[in-house]
Amino acid sequence: MNVLVTGGCGFIGSHLAEKLLSIGHEVYIIDDLSTGSINNIKHLQTNPKFHLNKDTITNDSLLSSIVDKVDIIYHLAAAVGVQLVMKSPIRTIETNVHGTEAVLKATSKQNKKVLIASTSEVYGKSEKVPYKEDDNLLIGASTLGRWSYACSKALDEFLAMAYWKEKKLPVVITRFFNTIGPRQTGQYGMVVPRFIKQALSGKPITVYGDGKQARCFTYVENVVNAIISLMENKESIGQVFNIGSTEEISIENLAKKIKQLTSSSSEIVYIPYEQAHEHGFEDMRRRIPDISKLSGMLSKTGGFPKHGLDETLKLIIKNFKL
Ligand code: UDP
């Protein structure tokens, strides 16, 4: 099959491209290298089935010429990372909204199946965990920049569902829960690569707030396999799926674990949110997915794997480049 991956030079996109090539697909990438990196796909460039287009997805003629050639589309290009969102809110909103709009328009002209990558951030600060796909989304005030990311991705979801309902465009929406793995950078705020970098270089490990907030970190390979299975399954069309691990850890314990796994002498320091971000910054205390819907869909292939966090962290640490 011929496949387009938007954002294919990003962290998740590059793992997806690698997997798709390994199972024999022809892979086209569009990436403007704004947060993605050539280093992520360097090892794929010698593969004759790999085609890289360094451009923005809002280049309509390029996008439609590639959509012409492919059978399915994975739309992963987006502005990601709390730090980037806080620093560049206009870029975040415009990239997420205009990019998805362009992809849905182009794919709907040819009625090709498209996966829209969304995020667990859309659940906002809802305290009703675990989160189910049809739960309410509780987004904070528009004066707090953080929520622009959730809101822009929620709008992407609404637009995708609208294309499905009005034009019968086969869409699949996936909400990722704190994906981690080799090649992820801490540059845009993601906690695991940040802590590993700090631990390996002997710098203080910076826990924001009281460190009691908790997350479920999900191994990127499991995410990639899950989205490929969803795209192969006709029943996934017009639906939203949580994709994530259900193993929860507090950020404070994550810091201790990474310190121990790296045998680091770094001290663990606590930084108030206002100092790390902006006054009034809101974080969610817990974020746990209900994955029964996903597990049901993947039941024929053994369900969503339980990949232990320790095992995943060890793998990331082993491959980490300072
Ligand atoms: N975090 C932290 N120190 C850092 C970066 C992040 O304590 O240097 C915290 C952050 O406040 C959040 C959690 O780690 O509570 C996960 O952050 P990340 O940005 O990776 O993902 P989020 O769950 O916020 O989307």
Among the listed residues 28, 131, 149, 219, the single catalytic one is: 149
Q: Is the CB of 118 under 6 A from ligand 1?
A: no
pLDDT of residue 315: 96
**How far apart, in whole angstroms, are the C-alpha atoms of residue 138 and residue 118?**
16
DSSP sequence for 107-140: HHHHT-EEEEEEEGGGGBT---SSB-TTSPPB--
Q: What are phi and psi of 35, to 5 degrees?
A: -120, -15
Distance 53 CA to ligand 1 centre (A): 32
Contacts (Cβ under 8 Å, ≥6 apart) of 304: 222, 226, 243, 291, 294, 295, 298
CATH fold label, 2-180+217-246+287-306? Rossmann fold (3.40.50)
Mean pLDDT of the region 255-265: 98
| pLDDT tens figures, 58-88 | 999 999 999 999 999 999 999 888 888 889 9
| pLDDT tens figures, 186-200 | 998 899 999 999 999
**Residue 156 binned pLDDT confidence (cut-offs 50, 70, 90):** very high
Residue minimizing CA distance to atom 3 of ligand 1: 207
| pLDDT tens figures, 140-151 | 999 998 999 999
What size, in residues, is the chain? Answer: 322
- Is residue 28 part of the annotated active site? The answer reads no
Atom of ligand 1 at shortest distance to CA of 198?
8
DSSP sequence for 138-193: B---TTSTTHHHHHHHHHHHHHHHHHHHHH---EEEEEE-SEE-TT--STT--HHH
